[in-house]
Amino acid sequence: MYEIFEDLLKKHKVTAYRVAKETGITTATFTSWKQGKYNPKREKLQKIADYFGVTVDYLMGVSEKSEDLVEAKPYYALTKKDERDVAEELERMMNDLNSNAALAFMGEPMDEEDRELLRISLENTLRMSREMAKKKFTPKKFRN
């Protein structure tokens, strides 16, 4: 089981010390685990699995299925609430644009294709600005 942990350390290019520090698990626990004197409790295994974005079953070697690998999301990834906020803001912006009959692009009235391209561009801008704000303003203690 510790071999899987070592593989994850190599894959993610981190040390056991760093995992210990960021998960709150002591390095002595990892040393005992490596020596076969101790098997971490489920709670600690879950912290390690969450850190690497895998399931506890994968970490324990019970399952090697690729679907047991969980895509780790960065701390600045948009949450469901962020997605809703972006959608609401985009809807408000598009309604504002649609209410203005004089909306034009380079002197020509916008057709549906141009409106859709503008909508996509605005949505991407809103998403990027939300992520950039999270990167900039998330306190270090809450970053992974």
pLDDT at 103 over 70: no
Distance CA 90, CA 122 (A): 7
pLDDT of residue 67: 46
pLDDT of residue 89: 94
Confidence (pTM)? 0.47
Residues 47 and 91 in one domain: no
Go through the chain and tell me how many residues it has.
144
Distances (CA, A) of 22 to 53, 119, 123, 137: 14, 40, 34, 20
Q: What is the CATH number of the domain that holds 40?
A: 1.10.260.40
Query: How confident is the model over 16-57, as pLDDT tens digits?
Result: 888 888 888 888 888 888 888 878 888 888 888 888 888 888
Residues 61 and 101 in one domain: no
Backbone torsions φ then ψ of 79, nearest 5 degrees: -85, 175
In a domain, residue 23? The reply is yes
Residues 17 and 49 in one domain: yes
Residues 6+ apart with CB under 8 A from 27: 16, 17, 20
Count of CB atoms within 10 A of residue 121's CB?
Answer: 10
Distance CA 134, CA 95 (A): 27
pLDDT of residue 71: 54
Which is more confident, 75 or 9? Answer: 9
Residues 35 and 84 in one domain: no
Residues 109 and 60 in one domain: no
Domain assignment of residue 109, given as a range: 80-142
Distance CA 134, CA 73 (A): 13
Query: How confident is the model over 61-100, as pLDDT tens digits?
Result: 776 654 445 555 677 778 888 889 999 999 998 887 776 5
Residues 85 and 126 in one domain: yes
Amino acid in the structure at residue 1: M
